[in-house]
Amino acid sequence: MMNEFKLKKCDRIWSTDEIKYLVDNWNEKTPREIADRLNRSLVAVHSKYKRIMRFTNGKIRWGKLVSGTEVRKRLEKEGRKFNPDEELFACPICEKLYRTMTTLKRHFVNVHYINRTCPLCNAKYNKLILHFARQGYDTKNAEIIDLEHLILFGLSMRKYTTTSDKFRKMVLDLTYDFCSIWGNGGRYGGDKNDGFGN
């Protein structure tokens, strides 16, 4: 009987929208209602919520970073025109546009990373890149916890940063997609079986 219960546990990767729904509705709805709405098992909902609270210390912030598509839409409303063939990348903090991801990463490191203060938490860290990685990704369960911290990790990651190739590719793809003015806001569209896709 216990094995049947374990098999019911959903092994799909949690999307950012599902995590947001879980956290935003935890106090208003019962865990059973949340599990039914997300098509997850009750055990999966409880364990995910506990892990999120443990890793974020109960302080989850949504929407502090601005995606490249949001910047493009705002500038289009102000009358600026963009060539669909031209790839531009927006800084998720100050919204400046850059022609390449390399120049955006250089800008991020030289302007926003230099003071060692997390733009999301407003706390100082000696090793800010570790803070981004730990807040953004749960290595034990191979799950994205906070997409915004993971995006900042991608912007601060260098060639010598020690990570697995699969994790590095996933983070760089998310960062590229989030910062691109033609991206889809950081919703990872990788292979569903690679352990990182939503």
The tokens for 71 are: 């910047």
Looking at the structure, do residues 6 and 40 belong to the same domain, yes or no?
A: yes
Looking at the structure, do residues 44 and 76 belong to the same domain, yes or no?
A: no
Give domain status of residue 185, yes or no: no
pLDDT in tens, 44-60: 888 888 777 766 656 56
Looking at the structure, do residues 84 and 130 belong to the same domain, yes or no?
A: yes
The count of domains in the chain is: 2
Half-sphere exposure of 195 (CA within 13 A, CB side): 11
pLDDT value for 198: 32
Determine the longest span between alpha carbons in the chain, in angstroms.
63
Give domain status of residue 61, yes or no: no
Comparing C-alpha atoms, which of 191, 176, 178 is closest to residue 148?
178
pLDDT value for 88: 92
Section 121-148 average pLDDT: 83
Half-sphere exposure of 40 (CA within 13 A, CB side): 24
pLDDT in tens, 97-121: 999 999 999 999 999 888 888 888 7
Looking at the structure, do residues 72 and 119 belong to the same domain, yes or no?
A: yes
Looking at the structure, do residues 81 and 22 belong to the same domain, yes or no?
A: no
Where in the sequence is the domain holding 161, given as residue range(s)? Answer: 68-179
Looking at the structure, do residues 162 and 86 belong to the same domain, yes or no?
A: yes
Looking at the structure, do residues 83 and 175 belong to the same domain, yes or no?
A: yes
Quote the distance between the C-alpha of residue 67 and its chain's center: 11
- DSSP classification of residue 14: P
pLDDT value for 189: 41
Instruction: Give the count of beta carbons closer than 10 Å to the beta carbon of residue 41.
Output: 17
Looking at the structure, do residues 106 and 50 belong to the same domain, yes or no?
A: no
Looking at the structure, do residues 26 and 75 belong to the same domain, yes or no?
A: no
Give domain status of residue 186, yes or no: no
**Distance between terminal CA atoms of the chain?**
30
pLDDT value for 8: 38
Looking at the structure, do residues 22 and 111 belong to the same domain, yes or no?
A: no
Looking at the structure, do residues 44 and 73 belong to the same domain, yes or no?
A: no
Give domain status of residue 82, yes or no: yes
